[in-house]
Amino acid sequence: MYSDTISISYFRKDAAFDTLYPIHIRELSQMHWTGLDISLEASNFLATPGARILDIGSGVGKFCIASGVYHPEATFYGIEQREALFNYAESAKAQIGVPNVQFMHGNLTNLDYDLFDHFYFFNPFYENIEPSIRIDYNVNTSFDLYNYYTLFIYEMLNKRPAGTRLVTFHAPEKQIPISYQLMNNSYSPVLKMWIKK
Ligand SMILES: C[S@@+](CC[C@H](N)C(=O)[O-])C[C@H]1O[C@@H](n2cnc3c(N)ncnc32)[C@H](O)[C@@H]1O
């Protein structure tokens, strides 16, 4: 972990970290952004030395920024479809000053997945089938999009080389190809660590 005292104060608890964001973003934290304890567990598994790790649907960047601070030996990337959330992620990254984190604004279907070694997946498509948990109304949601994105990620994961690491959080197991072996879910039943065979 970095020794900068300003940064460390943000990592004592989630409420402290969330002060990096405006109030309406903080209010979404418990439901939509990965907590610090989960980020630590997930990144401990994903951050092999030199690895490039992609957060599939990175929101306001909480997973990437926390993981980047916990693991300077790896690089954490985030792709986010909502421009406002991407901008909040960039702002939080600048406030923390973490160099090994990169955010991209765009749709995850327009990405070259060969650029990444391992993946973090916090059920990013659920708001397509559960309107009550929508983050905002700035993107379209539908059952068709849920199926399209779910299949896209399934096929992408299936094509990755043996040894690819994946952490899923609150994701149904049927979304994960059978070629991935469950290695650990002892910290929480909804936090699962996988390696491709
Ligand atoms: C549950 S939030 C998780 C945020 C972040 N991974 C974290 O753990 O703090 C899921 C995010 O995925 C984004 N997302 C969903 N579908 C996407 C798509 N097709 N392309 C890019 N981002 C997407 C949503 O906009 C949302 O910000």
Element (H, E) at 140: none
Write the CA distances from 94 to 23, 69, 100, 179, integer angstroms: 18, 13, 12, 38
Whole-angstrom distance, CA of residue 153 vs CA of residue 115: 15
User: pLDDT grade, residue 6 (50/70/90)?
Assistant: low
User: Is 2 exposed, middle or buried, given 0-12, 13-18 or 19+ CB atoms closer than 10 A?
Assistant: middle
Number of folded domains that form the chain: 1
35 Cα–ligand 1 center, Å: 15
Q: Atom 23 in ligand 1: which residue has the minimum CA distance? A: 57
Q: Which residue range is the domain that position 13 belongs to?
A: 5-196
Amino acid letter, 147: N
Residue pLDDT, tens place only, 58-109 = 999 999 999 999 999 999 999 999 999 999 999 999 999 999 999 999 999 9
| 90 contacts 103 by C-beta, under 8 angstroms | yes
Q: How far is the CA of 180 from the centre of ligand 1 (A)?
A: 22
Mutate to test the pocket of ligand 1, among 28, 34, 53, 58 (most ligand atoms within 8 A of CB): 58
Distance, in Å, from the CA atom of 186 to the CA atom of 118, rounded to the nearest integer, reads 20
Nearest residue (by CA) to ligand 1, atom 12, is 57
127 CA from centroid of ligand 1 (Å): 10
Report the CATH number at residue 177.
3.40.50.150
